[in-house]
Chain A
Amino acid sequence: MAAEGSGGLRLVALDPEAGALGLRIGEPLGRVRARIGVPLQVYPADPAADRDSLLRLCRWASGYAPLVAPFGPGEAADGLYIDVAGASHLRGGETNLVADLAARLARSNIPARIALADTPGAAFALARHGGGDRIVVPPGGAAEALRGLPVESLRLDPGTVAGLKRLGLRRIGALDALPRGPLARRFGEALLLRLDQALARRPEPLAPLTEAADHAAARGFLDPIGRQSDIVRTARDLMAELAPRLERDGLGACALRLALHRVDGAVRALDLGLSRPERCPERVAALVSLRLDRLGSALDAGFGFETVALAVTVTGPMPARQTDLGAAAAGDGVGFLADALAQRLGRALLRLEPRASHLPERGDRGVLWVAGAGHGPSTDRGVGRPRARLPLPAPAAGLAAAYIGAGRAASGSVAGPLSRAGEGQGEGRELSERGANGTRGDGVLDPDASRPSPQPSPARERGPGALLHQRRRSTVMGEPSGIEGEEKARTSASPWTDHLPPRPLVIFPRGEAACDVLSTVPEGPPRRFRWRARIHRVAHAEGPERIAAEWWREPGADRDYYRIECEAGHRLWLYRDGPHAPDRPAAWYVHGLFA
């Protein structure tokens, strides 16, 4: 029995015994306890774990057909669709497929109701309200099968269902017999949409968990494999199988997914991102090997993997190139190194890129290194997905919806037989990570992650500021808007501006406060200050260079920067934050260090 709060604790799932006691889902827990004298065992609901279990089940179910979609929140998120169109003959027909699915789920202790029908809507309705555990509707029989079902099986919102019941429309057949105009006027377009989707009058696209890859290969083993070298060799063989197909299409793999199906049904998916399109089996094998190295024992082989599948999830154009007999192209080695480091360490190579900002700390950022991208985008960078979307499920296609968990006490048992709960979460994170920058072309690191915008004090956030050189540099004044255009004009040379005054070799993300500063007031360089527990005596000072705050980002005071050389020979970059005021002595910060 599970319960979870929404306006107080309410029941969200019950096991069969609780159902026999007359409890209903949605009842407030307090009232239930008062009404029933039996002591209840209540567990907090964990939607995230439920979702993970469902996704794991989806991955497992993709063994039946490539297109598997979990139920969305509107469908109570407790089941999944399998588009078996064109795939049922592999299991000896639809009836056999459903029987096989039910048998396997039963073996895993997952209570399930399975319905196979023409449309997702019909399958959903039959699985929930069809009154049987295994229902197979022959093609074209959906309207017949649905006639007697209650209207709530149409995936409507509760308000609509209540309205329909008030009108005495309890069955789908009765609803379908009515003229459509008044229905639409009264209940909105959504009702007709759901009705039409269930009756195959309108197509319903599914949101599949993973889109079926155009280029995929799999190999099954009678004897499960568990050793790393075997997995690597299999990956190489699979890639060798895919390479001619990719070559025929003029494509290369930009991202690969290696799915390892364990004997007990768990699936480990390893996503490999490549910096440039690739179809060399040896390289893919090397990357797989590095990735497995990194995983180490985290790749829980259990009793071994019975199926290894390699799918090309993202492809990129890879025109035929004339290869020379000598060494590989120059950028090639770096690309492979970048891939190897990404697999082995899970870290990407970065490249510094200037930003159009006058604030020093916002002046550069780390950008993911991309093969072939020097100063500007190159032709290799166009990593696209030149493949057609999957055709929408035809209305007459066979569709199965499995409704998992008759009593939702099964939440734990769904997760149980597949694998540990933590593993699924890890996979999910990996997927989303790789998915986010699977192409690695447009993934720009959050600049603030590596070099957070400096705030000497929380109240003063700096933005890119106008640069006003007080001394000797009046020509630069008033240029901030022109910088970008100027930069664009000479991207061919170097994107880094060369008219800046000297900048330190290392800059702190935010200024570090210098204490006990002895300086001439109101304006002037410091003579002596304490920083990092040391007294620094200034032997030489240059400045000031005034850098204004970015008022369009956040207000702040102007900063006057000084280059300082201490008596010990260290060169520092200090700034005074705002002007000196009689009642408030100016604050000084060390912002960078020169070589």
Chain B
Amino acid sequence: MGLDPADETEAAIARGDPRARLADLRVRLAPPDRGREASPVLPTGVPDLDAHLPGGGLVLGPPHEIAPAEPADAIAALGFALALCARHLARESGEALIAAGPGQPLPYGHGLAGLGLDPARLLLLEAGSDAEVFRALEAALHARALTALIGLLRDGLPLKPGRRLQLAAEGPAPPLLLILRPAPAGLPNGAATRWRIAAAPAARDRFGTLDRPRWRARLERCRNGRGGDWLLEWDHAAHRLHLPEPLACDAASAGRSRA
């Protein structure tokens, strides 16, 4: 991607060039959503990012695939997923389930608080294989008892389980479903979005200490949407993602922010 799509969009909308008109026409010509009402979404809180996602946020129900940019970024990807989960839990009541495949790192209770996630609203399941993770997620989707589901996979999400999860998620009040997979295991599947997360230097507070985590998030694939690349900052107190603001004393983000 040569040009940053984020910049492109803003410029395009500002100028009102054919692209924007085309998008406008598409909206008008689109079938009335096949008679279905719009599926619920989780807005990320970043208008720029939400504009790239269909419906203005992450669709609840179908799986969202999150992968680290490289193996060392696995924890950053987990942090991003848990941040999204925390945001969803802050908006909805209910509990979240983390189903971890073998060897996947489980979060540390005291560290969850730092992401703004209440450990008491988190259920853990240590599965013996990826297949068990899929079964657990499917059962949880059918039960419709939980608000958010996160699956930590060892081998990635193949097409068949992805499709099964998608089918299980159909219906009213679906939960947020996030699938974390390792970096090299990119398989074709029915994920609604596919993210690549890389660690980025954290925001500093006024005293120059590490404050808010930041991730470089790349939206690689998005059904009915557009990809993009953002540097995101997580505010654990307000449960919201935002683009880093250039602060006077913010040495880390100076000159690095691209959006």
Residues in A lying within 8 Å of B, measured CB to CB: 330, 332-334, 336-337, 340-341, 344-345, 347, 349-354, 360, 363-364, 366, 369, 374-375, 450, 494-498, 500, 502-507, 532, 534, 539-540, 542, 563, 565, 568-571, 592-595
Contacts and interface: CB of A to CB of B under 8 A. Distances in A.
B72 A595 contact: no
A360 B135 CA distance: 33
B108 A503 contact: yes
B123 interface: yes
22 contacts: A330-B94, A332-B145, A334-B123, A350-B125, A352-B112, A354-B119, A364-B108, A374-B120, A450-B106, A496-B113, A497-B110, A500-B110, A500-B113, A502-B114, A505-B82, A505-B107, A539-B201, A570-B73, A570-B76, A594-B79, A595-B80, A595-B215
A563 B108 contact: no
Q: Which of A333, A352, A363 has the most CB of B within 10 A?
A: A352
B143 A595 contact: no
Interface residues of B, number: 55
Interface stretch (B1-9, B32-40, B126-134): B126-134
Contacts of A369: 123
Contact of B111 (A450, A507, A534): A507
Given A504-B111, A505-B82, A568-B72, A351 B124 contact: yes
A350 B123 contact: yes
Interface of B: 72-73, 75-76, 78-80, 82-83, 93-95, 97, 105-115, 118-120, 122-128, 132, 135-136, 139-140, 143-146, 198-202, 209-210, 213-216, 234
Nearest to B113: A496
Nearest to B213: A595
B139 A569 contact: no
Given A344-B135, A542-B209, A571-B202, A506 B124 contact: no
B87 to A, nearest CB: 14
Nearest to B73: A570
B122 A351 contact: yes
B123 A363 contact: no
A504 B139 contact: no
Nearest to A593: B75
A345 B111 contact: no
Given A349-B123, A594-B79, 13 more contacts: A336-B145, A341-B139, A349-B124, A350-B124, A350-B126, A352-B107, A364-B108, A505-B111, A506-B78, A532-B72, A569-B76, A594-B111, A595-B111
B109 A363 contact: yes
A575 B94 CA distance: 37
Nearest to B109: A364
Contacts of A345: 125, 127-128, 132, 135-136
Contact of B210 (A350, A352, A507, A563): A563
